[in-house]
Amino acid sequence: MIVWVRVETPEKYELKQGDFHLKRRFEELSGDLCLVIHLSQMDPGVLQALKPRALLLSGCGTFFRHFKPESLYPFEDTLHAMPDVPTIGFCGSHQFLGIMFNDGFRNLTELDDEMMRPLKPGEPDPQSDPNPEAAGFYSEEGFHSVQALSTDPLFDGLPERFVVRESHYAEVKRLPPDFNLIASNENCRIQAMKHRTRPLYGTQFHPEAWVETYPHGREILQNFFRIAGILP
C-alpha cells in the first residue's frame, strides 16, 4: 500500500474532487493500492500499523498564514516516527519540509509564506487567475525546465534538464541542514532536495501533474516507486 496525504485545510479538502484522479494515477504507475487521507489523519500509530511502502505528500492551495502551526504537528510527528518509509513531498509539502527541518512547527507561533520575488516593473503576472493575496509577486506557473544538479536515482533516465509542472508563489528559501540540493532553475533555487540519510525527498514542482506532451513527471514518480522497492 502507498498513502497519498492531502495537505490542505479541512474545508478545501472537503471540496476537492481531484484526488481520485491522482489516486488512480499512483495505482496505475505503482501497481499498488493507494489510500487517500487528509493531513489531520496523519496519526503515527495508525500509519505505522498500516505499514505503507511509500508516502506521497500533496501540494497546498492555501497560503500558510491561514494554517496554525499545531495543525502541522501530525505531519511532523508522522515523518519523525517513520524515517525509513520512502517519502516525497510536492510543492506546499516540500515547503513544509523546509519549515519542519529548519525550524520545527512546535517552535513557531505562526506560519509565514516565503514568497518568491516581487514582479519587475511592467512584468505580466503569469497566473491566468491571480490570487489577490499574492498581488505583486511572481508565480512560477506552467511547464518549466529544471536542472538536475547531481546524479540521483529520482532522476534516472531523465535528461540533465527536464520539464515539469510548476504552480507556486512561495518557495523554500533556506536549504535545511540535513538535506542536499539536487535540482534548481533560474526562477527557484531549491527545486528539489533530498535528505542525507533518509529516503525523503521534496520537490517544488508537481511530478504528479505530468501530461503526455511533458512526461518527465511520470518518470520521476516511477523512479520514486523504484526507490521504494515497489517497481523493479
- Higher-confidence residue of 224 and 129: namely 224
Closest CA relative to residue 207, chosen from 222, 197, 218: 218
Query: Which pLDDT value is given to residue 14?
Result: 77
Provide the mean pLDDT of the chain. 95
Q: Judge contact between 132 and 188, C-beta under 8 A.
A: no
Instruction: Kindly state the average pLDDT of the residues 118-136.
Output: 90
Length of the chain: 232
- Higher-confidence residue of 128 and 206: namely 206
Dist CA 130 CA 23 (whole Å): 28
Residue 155, class by beta-carbon neighbours within 10 Å (0-12 exposed, 13-18 middle, 19+ buried)? buried
DSSP output for the chain: -EEEEE-S-HHHHHH--THHHHHHHHHHHHSS-EEEEEGGG--HHHHHHH--SEEEE---SS-GGGS-GGGGHHHHHHHHH-TTS-EEEETHHHHHHHHHHHT-GGG-SS----B-PBPPTTPPP--SS--GGGTTB--EEEEEEEEE-S--GGGTT--SEEEEEEEESB---S--TTEEEEEE-SS-S-SEEEESSSSEEEESSBGGG-BTTBTHHHHHHHHHHHHTTS--
Q: How confident is the model at residue 15 (pLDDT cuts 50, 70, 90)?
A: confident
Q: What is the pLDDT of residues 159-210, one digit of tens each?
A: 999 999 999 999 999 999 999 999 999 999 999 999 999 999 999 999 999 9
Given a cut of 70, whether residue 158 has pLDDT beyond it is: yes
Closest CA relative to residue 100, chosen from 80, 84, 85: 80
In percent, how much of the chain has pLDDT > 70?
99
In percent, how much of the chain has pLDDT > 90?
90
First-to-last C-alpha distance (Å) of the chain: 16
Query: Which pLDDT value is given to residue 130?
Result: 85
Q: Judge contact between 32 and 1, C-beta under 8 A.
A: yes
Q: How confident is the model at residue 17 (pLDDT cuts 50, 70, 90)?
A: low
Q: How confident is the model at residue 18 (pLDDT cuts 50, 70, 90)?
A: low
Q: Give the phi and the psi of residue 218 in degrees, each rounded to 5.
A: -60, -40
Query: Which pLDDT value is given to residue 102?
Result: 98
Dist CA 176 CA 168 (whole Å): 19
200-203/192-195 β-pairing: antiparallel
Q: How confident is the model at residue 129 (pLDDT cuts 50, 70, 90)?
A: confident
Given a cut of 90, whether residue 9 has pLDDT beyond it is: no
Q: How confident is the model at residue 127 (pLDDT cuts 50, 70, 90)?
A: confident
Dist CA 201 CA 6 (whole Å): 17
Query: Which pLDDT value is given to residue 16?
Result: 63
Query: Which pLDDT value is given to residue 92?
Result: 98
